[in-house]
Structure 1
Amino acid sequence: MEKELICICCPMGCHLKVNIEENKVTGNGCKRGINYGLSELTNPVRVITTTVKVKDGENILLPVKTKGEIQKGLIFKCMEELRNIEVTAPIKIGDIIVSNILNTGIDIVSCRDCLILRSKIKN
């Protein structure tokens, strides 16, 4: 059985034809397309980007992302868990917000700095 995909590994957007039975990918412009095509049909993964709530911060939401890829089937569970997270400012870009989300070995990290709200700073 052959499936058609558009590769998202680079801006070329190659039109791939993937045959899982033969472990064969055609239409790729680079080696990354082969890995993408095979993994997309056998074990699709994604990087998640979203926001979490911030307490005492200059912003009420903090952009976060997974530090690596997680299985596509875990996206909704991950989002559900992150919906309940509230962090307290100050936070630096790259800080780990959740370690080992859903036992995947992947951390959720901050995508920006978040300072303490001026009214919360003690003189």
Structure 2
Amino acid sequence: MAVETRIMNCIMCPLGCEMTVTIENGAVTGVTGNTCPRGPKYAHDEVVAPKRMLTSTVRVNGGLLPLVPVVSKTTLPKERILDCAAALRQVIVEAPVSEGQVIVENILGLGVDIVASRSMEVHQE
């Protein structure tokens, strides 16, 4: 039975508690140091299936700027972030772009949309 202890900072609230997480055979068996009930859930998710938001940019044809910022609508599996970023490098959208507009639907089949995080007007000459 492999027992591991990890120290991690919780990011679920502004307190940023330093937690000690005990892991036995890949499963979280104990969490200490958290001051709110969200800590153990965060620790479990971070150990078992870490997820992250993705923020990036995509190219825009005919926009005021050459790039528009985008963000994942929800979290993505951490191990797929670089794959998603690589996929976004291939995306080109046409201006105008509206904030919240879906830029890539269901990126890499992960069930998460990539949306514009700001509007981009058409470049007028």
Report the secondary structure of 1:114's partner residue: coil
CA separation in 1, counterparts of 2:34 and 2:103?
A: 37
| One-letter amino acid of the counterpart of residue 90, structure 1 | P
Structure 1's consecutive aligned runs of 4 or more residues displaced over 3 angstroms after TM superposition are: none
C-alpha deviation, 1:20, in angstroms: 2.7
Is 1:18 aligned to 2:21, yes or no?
Answer: yes
C-alpha deviation, 1:36, in angstroms: 0.8
Q: Structure 1 regions of 5+ residues with no counterpart? A: none
**TM-score, length of structure 2 as denominator length:** 0.91
Q: Please, which of 9, 30, 47 is the counterpart of residue 12 of structure 2? A: 9
Which 10-residue stretch deviates more, 61-70 or 24-33? 24-33
CA separation in 2, counterparts of 1:34 and 1:63?
A: 33
**TM-score, length of structure 1 as denominator length:** 0.92
| One-letter amino acid of the counterpart of residue 30, structure 2 | K
Aligned residues: 119
CA separation in 1, counterparts of 2:91 and 2:80?
A: 17
CA RMSD of aligned residues (A): 1.0
Is 1:28 aligned to 2:34, yes or no?
Answer: yes
Percent sequence identity over aligned pairs: 40
Greater share of strand:
2
Structure 2 residue aligned with 1:52:
58
C-alpha deviation, 1:69, in angstroms: 0.4
Is the contact made by 1:53 and 1:87 (CA closer than 8 Å) also made in structure 2? yes
Greater share of helix:
1
